Amino acid sequence: MGLFDRIKRAFGGKSETEDTEKYDAALEKSRSSFGDKLNALFANFRTVDEDFFDDLEDTLIGADVGFETAVKITDELREEVKLRNAKDSNAVARVIVQKLVDLYGDEGQDEDNSLHFAESGPTVFLFVGVNGAGKTTTIGKLAKRLHDQGKSVLLAAADTFRAGAIQQLQVWGERDDVPVVAGPEGGDPAAVVFDAVVRAKKENADVLLVDTAGRLQNKVNLMKELGKIERVIKRELPDEPSEVLLVVDATTGQNALNQAKEFNQTTKMTGLVLTKLDGSGKGGIVLAVRNELHVPVKLVGLGEKVDDLADFEPTKFVYGLFKGLIDEPAGAKDEADPAAVAAATENNEDSEEHEEDK
């Protein structure tokens, strides 16, 4: 059973949990954007020919699912449409969504979306990413969650170059009742991290969250700086950091994917944090990241409240992104019979059996 059918079985006809409702609300813009793009595609629908597939590829790229994913889906769809004898726009739309969902599931079937913690001693999470992506806010929200769970948390203000960055993290520390290790503005970030690691060991802290700079315009110096920070951590705690999390802004769409590629070339990322998902119509970027980089998304920002930083749950994400499109594809008419639409996407043999059952 593919992910498409598993999601239908898991969520179809059931009341939604609070987390599912959060995903649903946060992905409303992305879901609407994707549906609008499919509707625009099918507004000129005449027949499934090469022009249609060219337009479909452009539509998927425009939906921020990534170039490689768009090409792969389009190529696979050529055969799938023939196999399923999907001729009208409703049936073809349904096949498109099902292929996207199942590809998403296939590519991430061995993916580990959970945060990893050390078995003993302090756990270190290193947060990287360009300025403005939401690193400091993410750290503040995660610190609050971990503190509420009874863990002793320490923050390291290693973004020493951005004006106000140290003060911003200190405000979060006061709000979360979590101590912050900081140095002078413009100081050595690695020195701050060293002090924080030593303190975490001395005080038996459970988790150390490290904020870092994100000056992508000085990429070479930035990557050297991150490498130095990691070496400092490993010198004191050889098995750390447990996580190197790249924070990307969902509202930037393909730029977020490009940033991930840049960091992935020089930093061994263990996962991504996708922020501002609720303010974006570009949720399809998660598919691009998974299918092109094979780096798991571990946390997502589903709103502005302190408790709106959520663990990434793939089935809830896909349900939120394609809800409605799964049951009633873009372009479906109000009077369309759902059973007939579903039957149109099955292969010829299944369609004939369905008609005989009638």
Nearest to 146 by CA among 303, 302, 299: 299
Q: Could you give the angle at which helices 3-11 and 89-107 cross, rounded to 10 degrees?
A: 100
d(CA 38, CA 331): 7
Q: Based on the structure, what is the number of domains in the chain?
A: 2
Question: 148 and 251, same structural domain?
Answer: yes
How many Å apart are CA 21 and CA 188, to the nearest integer? 43
Identify whether residues 138 and 263 lie together within a single domain. Answer: yes
- Write out the two tokens for 100: 């996207």
| Geometric angle at alpha carbon 267, from 264 and 273, rounded to 5° | 65
CATH of the domain at 237: 3.40.50.300
- What's the confidence (pLDDT) of residue 107? 63
Judge whether 19 lies within some domain.
Answer: no
The pLDDT of 67-89, averaged and rounded, is: 78
Closest to 77 (Cα-Cα) out of 41, 37, 50? 50
Coil, strand or helix: which one is 174?
A: helix
* Nearest alpha carbon to residue 41 among 344, 258, 330: 330
53 & 83 share domain: yes
Domain boundaries, position 134: 123-320
First to last CA, the chain: 25
- CATH number, domain at 104? 1.20.120.140
Q: Are strands 297-301 and 271-275 parallel, antiparallel or unpaired?
A: parallel
Assess whether 339 and 309 both reside in one domain: no
What radius of gyration do the chain's Cα atoms show? Answer: 23
* The two structure tokens encoding residue 180: 């912050």
Q: Which residues of 227-244 are buried (b: 16+ CB within 10 A; e: fewer)?
A: eebbebbeebbeebbbbb
Percent of the chain residues past pLDDT 70, beyond the cut: 83
pLDDT per residue over 167-194, tens digit each? 999 999 999 999 999 999 999 999 999 9
Q: Is residue 140 part of a domain?
A: yes
Distance CA 245, CA 261 (A): 13
227-254 pLDDT, tens digit per residue, is 899 999 999 999 999 999 999 888 888 7
Residue 116, φ and ψ in degrees, nearest 5:
-100, 135
Decide if pLDDT at 354 tops 90. Answer: no
| Domain co-membership, 315 together with 329 | no
Do 208 and 308 sit in the same domain of this protein?
yes
Segment holding 318, helix H or strand E = helix 314-322
Residue 189 preceded by cis peptide, ω within 30: no
Q: Taking Cα atoms as reference points, which of 244, 277, 239 lies closest to residue 260?
A: 244
The 10s digit of each residue's pLDDT in 1-60 is 567 777 766 665 554 567 788 888 888 888 888 778 888 888 877 777 888 888 888 888
Distance CA 21, CA 307 (A): 14
Is 7 among the domain residues? yes
Strand 207-211 vs strand 297-301: parallel, antiparallel, or unpaired? Answer: unpaired
Helices 314-322 and 28-43 sit at what angle, rounded to 10 degrees?
Answer: 50
| pLDDT for residue 10 | 63
